[in-house]
Amino acid sequence: MALQITDATLDEVLKTDKLVVIDFWAEWCGPCKMVSPVIDQLADEYQDGVVIGKVDVDNNDEATSKYGIRNIPTILFIKNGEVVDKLVGASTKNVFVEKIEKLK
């Protein structure tokens, strides 16, 4: 399962030297529901080398504003506190795996 990230825990999550993958989503978002199980699978598969989590945009205004999230799902790839890549919209698992392998 992906880590549930909130405004209160975001800074702590970003302190790692590992690649951080964050899915910005909402309960009412159809494409988010398609991406969610893929994010959970990836969190299990990469649990030792990559931090993978989710931010509910409806309940975490600070995190959403910090990264200027306007469309969901938006998946950010963050390394050393900096956004190094981004996906907007639903994507296949293969797309996520490619990006993670390239960036980790």
pLDDT band of residue 26 (cuts 50, 70, 90) is very high
Residues 66 and 48: their CA atoms lie apart, in Å, by 27
Catalytically annotated residue among 22, 29, 51, 69: 29
DSSP-assigned letter for residue 90: -
Rounded CA-CA distance 88/37 in Å is 16
pLDDT in tens, 58-103: 999 999 999 999 999 999 999 999 999 999 999 999 999 999 999 9
Domain formed by 3-103, architecture: 3-Layer(aba) Sandwich (3.40)
Task: For residue 14, count CB atoms less than 10 angstroms from its CB and return exposed for 0-12, middle for 13-18, buried for 19 or more.
Answer: middle
The single residue of 2, 10, 19, 32 carrying the catalytic annotation is 32
Residue 98 among the catalytic residues: no
Is 29 catalytic? The answer is yes
Rg (CA), the chain: 12
Q: What is the pTM of this model?
A: 0.95
